[in-house]
Structure 1
Amino acid sequence: MANQPKKMNVVQLTFIVTVNMMGSGIIMLPTNMAKVGAISLLSWVVTALGSMAIAYGFAQAGILNQRAGGMAAYAEDAYGKPGYFQVFFLYFLSLAIANVAVASSALGYLAAFFPVLTSSPIATCVGVIALLWITTVANFGGPKLTGRIGSVTVWGVILPVGFMSFAGWFWFHPGIFAAAWNPQGLRLIEGMGSSISLTLWAFLGMESAVQNSSAVENPKRDVPLACLFGTLGAAVVYILSTTAIQGIVPNADLAKSTGPFGLAFAQMFNPAVGSIVMGLAAMACVGSLLGWQFTLAQTAKDAADSNMFPSIFSKASLAGAPIAGMIIMGIVQSLMALSTISPNLSEQFAALVNLAVVTNVVPYIVSLSALFVMMREAGTEPAAYRRNAVVTVIAMVYSTYALYASGKDAVMGGMLVMAIGYVIYGLIAPRLGLRGAKARKPAVAAASIIAFLLLCAPAPRPAHAAETGATAPAATAGALARIKQSGKMNIGYVNGASPFVYRDDAGHAVGYLAALCQNVADQVKSELGLPALTVNWTLVAADDRYRALQERRIDLLCGDSETLTGRGFISYSLPVYPGGVGALLRADAAPGLKQVLSGDTLPHQPVWRGSPAQLLNAQTFSSVKDSPTQRWLADRIDHFQLTAQVVDVSSFNEGVQRVINRKTNVFFAERQILQDAVKRSPASSDLVVLQRRFTDVPVSLGVARGDEDMRLFVDRTLSKMFASGQYRGLYVKWFGEPDEDTKNFYRLAVLPE
């Protein structure tokens, strides 16, 4: 008995479940959800119920089946050895991929203290590999040590997230939350659907109690309790903390943060507190990786014990640690981490991470479906059978919906992986009943195939790749070629820029620029001979608009202020509107401020050079973050050495609201957008847009940089519209009658054939 390995109790197992979920989920969850908006919080209702149903199903299965193997052992009860192997293979693959992703997240937090870790792709790769090996070696102490370490590192999540969940509400600002609610203009169903994969990722880990059942003192009692308590606790914390943080940090800042909780605490208290929270988060992330590394090795060991994997993975130390298997998987994961060196391989790796979600959920469905067979064979009482059946069906329906929400590319990749799994199973199936030396050689051969396929094969196209069938053009093909082959045209736009382009109540893209882009699409349909052309209007975030063109997720960007910075990323069409920066103030603003900004005081001097510095320094200015106006405003303030306060906003509506609420004295933005915002505002009588246009920045359409065929096509279409006067009806509809300067602008924009 002295040589029996030490095992975990229910408290330690619950900690393992909690840290596996929260350590790799909640750490970056606010940032991920901010990219959709606070509307994504609604998905918690669906995900929390679905995850609790899954956890309940695992708990019931754990009562009826205490064999090693967890989900794979459950699947075996209904589907035999093929079911066991397929669930094991998919889950094992997802863990190997996800652990590298968790290591990358941990490195991001550590980089706040050691910037050299992410100073170059090679440094990042070395850092990820180092973390993988540190957590691998730390697991050599066995499950008892892993549980103890996990019970300490989880406090790196519990302390800041717990504080945020309850005390964070004292810093909650309804205005910030309201501005963050739906920045992308999504419909309710779209907002919930786009967040399902995010919230599900946060709950992945609920099955780790099941997978570690063979390392638990009393699996019949402890596994169900750990599943339920860990999932329920995580659900409560997730909902409270993510809602609170959305009302503390502006959405634009939150969406770009690599340490959202550190950012929130820095804003609540000071940067020093934020740094402490960053350190705690890094500790928790490393602890999460530690737990997942043990789960990966334990999953391989259980399969090897069932003669489903090379016997070397079943060898364990006196402490119960499968060290040989850990070392082998450490090598495999290190090779996977090398993908971070090359940008092209990084895209492949990103696709594999998406695939990890699918390969996690499919085992959920298969193993949960086996519960019906298990209950029937165990003679479960009718009332309990019906109750368990209802909850399990809910769990499987939710899991199926989660697969759907993951996207077609990820699901297709999952199907390819399943096919590969059956190929491998076919190779080892004839030997399953054999033991000893004869069985080892085929097993080793199968393991080699698995390792090779793990590294090379299951790499579906990224979710944003053009879907053009079996013979899709290369990513570098021009937009016209992709449209011709796929029969689809993707037009991207940033919402909220009325009257240029915005999403109306019916969910359609409307506005002056939307009409121009639709005209381009009509010409594409006509000249390419595509009467059934499908035009997809795609919302893109302001900070993602250039990348969307570069990655060919969209074929045409419907409007952007033409700047030298922008030219470094995309190519611009002919100018389509004579844009420029304007200023919005309250109607009761100080007359002196209006005069200074209007240029009435010293007309022969730059506007701010001849103005009273004290007057301007006492003001608060705002502009939309990451916009040309923000760069212009920063340059003007620096040039004239002003000390005025500048507050960046995430949207035009937020800027207007700040002026209404007297939090901002002057909001600078595209003048036409300001005029439209005033016209639509209930407080329009309290607002005024100055007549002065501070800059002349034309607005153009955007195409991928270097795609000269698409650019020429767009320019030719626009030039014909301007020359024929076709644009005038659209202009009048959205802006009113054009003045003489505007008419000259369009005359000069026309190019001869």
Structure 2
Amino acid sequence: MTTTVPRNEPTTAIATAGEPGEDRSKHARRFGLPVATALVMGNIIGGGIFLLPASVAPFGTISLVAFAVLTVGAIALALVFGRLAERHPRTGGPYVYAREAFGDFAGFLAAWSYWITAWVSNAALAVAAVGYLDVLLPLHDSKPATMAAALVLQWLPAVANLAGTRYVGAVQLVATVMKFVPLLLVAVGGLFFFDADNLGPFEASGSGTLGAISASAAILLFSYLGVESAAVSAGEVRDPRRNVGRATILGTLGAAVVYLLGTLAVFGTVAHDELTGSTAPFSDAVNAMVGGSWGGSAVACMALVSMVGALNGWTLLSAQTPYAAARDGLFPAAFARKRRGVPTVGVLVTVVLASLLTVYNYTAGSGGVFEILVLVTTFTATVPYLLATAAQIYYLASGQAHRVSRARLLRDGVLAAVAAGFSVWLVAGSGYAAVYQGVLFLFAGVLVYAWMSARNHRTTRTATPAVAGDTAAREA
């Protein structure tokens, strides 16, 4: 039966004790601020950083302006998540915020959309990782070997998750450190080899300033998905009221610095004409900095570490939102079972779905379909983003922001408005095809919600006569 929490009061019971009924074995350990920050940074920066400079080079250096605009929107969204986490410090993030503000249906849509985003993104990330693995171990001549490698790259993080949150945090922290050290070396070291002649024109696409910013931003939209990572796993974070917001801001700022410095360094070390046709821009940048051809192998190693770390974090997130929804009766009850601090059914179902999608991609040769599915994740991720920002606007406008000064109320209102605009921009940037496909996914979710609601209703009707009978017997 659905458990409903009063919408007008913040949930406070789980600020320090965590989710009730959790299995807190030696393998389950809460994330501190460093690991929570690493989770945010690692999930925002997957493998896209290694491709982004070449992807936006055709638009010119104006793409750096688009990066800056996106960064402002992402930080505003991060601040909104931090505020909402103070009010509802529970596992589930946007799902919890949407349900508390607008009811079960809105909460289900947030959970369903986020779940789709997670497992489709995992499939895409694994397939992209194989491209870098191919630099080290040539696999392109064997489709079965390529497919097997993609599946292994998905199941290894799943195994780490099934071992317990203690190991998830350890893998995430190590992967993040190993990833950012070389990335920062390239980003900072590239500034010493910076040549302004390599930058090319400011606006190279011929579509005008606003058109170029919008077009390049559409490519960069996916790069900031993951700002909600700490909020989604709030139940696994120590002192979530304090640390979720801090980790979200620190992780988003850290990712923004790496993105901007890395892109700028590559722009300044690789000639513009060469960069527009590059398939490994960071490799080309390293070769330009130190000479030789070993850069490709080095960057391939960095990309693999980056993507495995991102898969590790996204695998956890893909199970956390269905877990929170299942506890409220909006997902099948099996998703609410935890072992060693991890929703094991959610992890297994997610990795199986991602694996099936990966197999389909390789056996059907449907590259175009798969690319559309990847773009769909940009749209599906914005659904919970928009619902979460709408929840914050609802709390502020309805006077439920207790003990808040007028200055903070105004500041929070501006941040919520910017975050909402950013979310709408994400939808627009996804493209017509992605929005069309994404809406179909949402409609499929509506059918699932109808089935779960009917099931809950039958359970309620069955339980009610028994309760009434017990009451009558006691009165007699």
TM-score (norm 2): 0.86
1:39 equivalent among 22, 45, 62: 62
Corresponding residue of 1:406: 430
How far 1:51 sits from its partner (Å)?
Answer: 0.6
* Cα distance in 2 for residues equivalent to 1:72 and 1:2: 24
* Cα distance in 1 for residues equivalent to 2:289 and 2:307: 22
1:677-699 CA-partner distances (Å, limit 9, x unpaired): xxxxxxxxxxxxxxxxxxxxxxx
* Cα distance in 2 for residues equivalent to 1:361 and 1:151: 27
2:414 corresponds to which letter in structure 1?
V
Aligned to 1:154, what secondary structure does the other structure show?
A: helix
Corresponding residue of 1:742: none
Corresponding residue of 1:286: 308
* Cα distance in 2 for residues equivalent to 1:35 and 1:160: 26
Contact 1:89 1:421 in 2 (8 A): yes
How far 1:2 sits from its partner (Å)?
Answer: 6.7
- Residues 184 and 383 (structure 1), Cα distance of their counterparts in 2 relative to 1, 3 Å cut: closer
How far 1:255 sits from its partner (Å)?
Answer: 3.8
Corresponding residue of 2:234: 213
Contact 2:190 2:268 in 1 (8 A): no
| 1:276 equivalent in alignment to 2:298 | yes
Corresponding residue of 2:350: 329
Aligned to 2:180, what secondary structure does the other structure show?
A: helix
Structure of greater Rg: 1
Contact 1:315 1:323 in 2 (8 A): yes
1:549-592 CA-partner distances (Å, limit 9, x unpaired): xxxxxxxxxxxxxxxxxxxxxxxxxxxxxxxxxxxxxxxxxxxx
CA RMSD across the alignment: 2.2
Contact 1:165 1:237 in 2 (8 A): yes
1:264 equivalent among 282, 285, 288: 285
* Cα distance in 2 for residues equivalent to 1:380 and 1:426: 39
1:430 equivalent among 451, 454, 465: 454
Contact 1:364 1:399 in 2 (8 A): yes
* Cα distance in 1 for residues equivalent to 2:320 and 2:95: 12
* Cα distance in 1 for residues equivalent to 2:142 and 2:367: 14
- Residues 294 and 435 (structure 1), Cα distance of their counterparts in 2 relative to 1, 3 Å cut: farther
Contact 1:107 1:128 in 2 (8 A): yes
Corresponding residue of 1:185: 206
| 1:384 equivalent in alignment to 2:408 | yes
2:385 equivalent among 364, 370, 377: 364
- Residues 408 and 380 (structure 1), Cα distance of their counterparts in 2 relative to 1, 3 Å cut: farther
Corresponding residue of 2:224: 203
How far 1:433 sits from its partner (Å)?
Answer: 6.3
2:90 corresponds to which letter in structure 1?
R
* Cα distance in 1 for residues equivalent to 2:407 and 2:266: 43
Aligned to 2:82, what secondary structure does the other structure show?
A: helix
- Residues 75 and 289 (structure 1), Cα distance of their counterparts in 2 relative to 1, 3 Å cut: same
| 1:92 equivalent in alignment to 2:115 | yes
Contact 1:61 1:374 in 2 (8 A): no
Corresponding residue of 2:244: 223
Alignment of 1:241-320 (within 5 A): 241-269=262-290, 270-317=292-339, 319-320=340-341
* Cα distance in 1 for residues equivalent to 2:430 and 2:226: 18
2:299 corresponds to which letter in structure 1?
V
* Cα distance in 1 for residues equivalent to 2:73 and 2:193: 31
* Cα distance in 2 for residues equivalent to 1:167 and 1:92: 38
How far 1:187 sits from its partner (Å)?
Answer: 1.5
How far 1:133 sits from its partner (Å)?
Answer: 1.1
* Cα distance in 2 for residues equivalent to 1:351 and 1:123: 24
1:49 equivalent among 72, 81, 89: 72
| 1:80 equivalent in alignment to 2:100 | no
1:81 corresponds to which letter in structure 2?
D
Corresponding residue of 1:157: 179
Paired residues, what number?
A: 435
Range with bigger deviation, 219-228 or 400-409: 400-409
Contact 2:67 2:260 in 1 (8 A): yes
1:366-390 CA-partner distances (Å, limit 9, x unpaired): 1111013334334242332221011
Aligned to 1:266, what secondary structure does the other structure show?
A: helix
Identity between Structure 1 and Structure 2 (%): 30
1:284-309 CA-partner distances (Å, limit 9, x unpaired): 21111111111112222222222221
1:290-330 CA-partner distances (Å, limit 9, x unpaired): 1111111222222222222122222221x212223322222
Structure possessing the higher relative contact order (Cα contacts under 8 Å, 6 or more residues apart): 2
Contact 2:91 2:320 in 1 (8 A): no
Contact 1:213 1:219 in 2 (8 A): yes
2:109 corresponds to which letter in structure 1?
Q
Contact 1:77 1:373 in 2 (8 A): no
1:192-224 CA-partner distances (Å, limit 9, x unpaired): 111112222111111111111111121111110
- Residues 401 and 246 (structure 1), Cα distance of their counterparts in 2 relative to 1, 3 Å cut: same
How far 1:276 sits from its partner (Å)?
Answer: 2.3
* Cα distance in 2 for residues equivalent to 1:59 and 1:6: 22
Aligned to 1:432, what secondary structure does the other structure show?
A: helix
* Cα distance in 1 for residues equivalent to 2:431 and 2:262: 27
* Cα distance in 1 for residues equivalent to 2:400 and 2:131: 49
Contact 1:142 1:321 in 2 (8 A): yes
* Cα distance in 1 for residues equivalent to 2:58 and 2:360: 25
1:341 equivalent among 362, 377, 380: 362
| 1:112 equivalent in alignment to 2:135 | yes
1:166 corresponds to which letter in structure 2?
V
Corresponding residue of 2:159: 137
Contact 1:160 1:261 in 2 (8 A): no
1:482-513 CA-partner distances (Å, limit 9, x unpaired): xxxxxxxxxxxxxxxxxxxxxxxxxxxxxxxx
Corresponding residue of 1:634: none
2:197 corresponds to which letter in structure 1?
G
- Residues 343 and 250 (structure 1), Cα distance of their counterparts in 2 relative to 1, 3 Å cut: farther
Question: Gaps (5+ residues) in structure 1?
Answer: 440-753
Contact 2:95 2:321 in 1 (8 A): no
* Cα distance in 2 for residues equivalent to 1:258 and 1:107: 14
* Cα distance in 1 for residues equivalent to 2:351 and 2:377: 18
Contact 2:116 2:380 in 1 (8 A): yes
* Cα distance in 2 for residues equivalent to 1:337 and 1:273: 29
Aligned to 1:428, what secondary structure does the other structure show?
A: helix
* Cα distance in 2 for residues equivalent to 1:95 and 1:354: 13
1:185 corresponds to which letter in structure 2?
G
2:44 corresponds to which letter in structure 1?
M
- Residues 6 and 205 (structure 1), Cα distance of their counterparts in 2 relative to 1, 3 Å cut: same
How far 1:252 sits from its partner (Å)?
Answer: 4.2
* Cα distance in 2 for residues equivalent to 1:405 and 1:293: 26
Aligned to 1:341, what secondary structure does the other structure show?
A: helix
Corresponding residue of 2:7: none
* Cα distance in 2 for residues equivalent to 1:254 and 1:297: 38
Range with bigger deviation, 27-36 or 280-289: 27-36
Contact 1:156 1:281 in 2 (8 A): no
2:266 corresponds to which letter in structure 1?
I
* Cα distance in 2 for residues equivalent to 1:217 and 1:400: 32
1:67 equivalent among 72, 90, 112: 90
| 1:10 equivalent in alignment to 2:43 | no
* Cα distance in 2 for residues equivalent to 1:20 and 1:258: 23
- Residues 255 and 129 (structure 1), Cα distance of their counterparts in 2 relative to 1, 3 Å cut: farther
Alignment of 1:570-581 (within 5 A): none
2:188 equivalent among 145, 166, 191: 166
Contact 2:318 2:346 in 1 (8 A): no
- Residues 434 and 207 (structure 1), Cα distance of their counterparts in 2 relative to 1, 3 Å cut: farther
Higher strand share: 1
* Cα distance in 1 for residues equivalent to 2:214 and 2:142: 35
Corresponding residue of 1:566: none
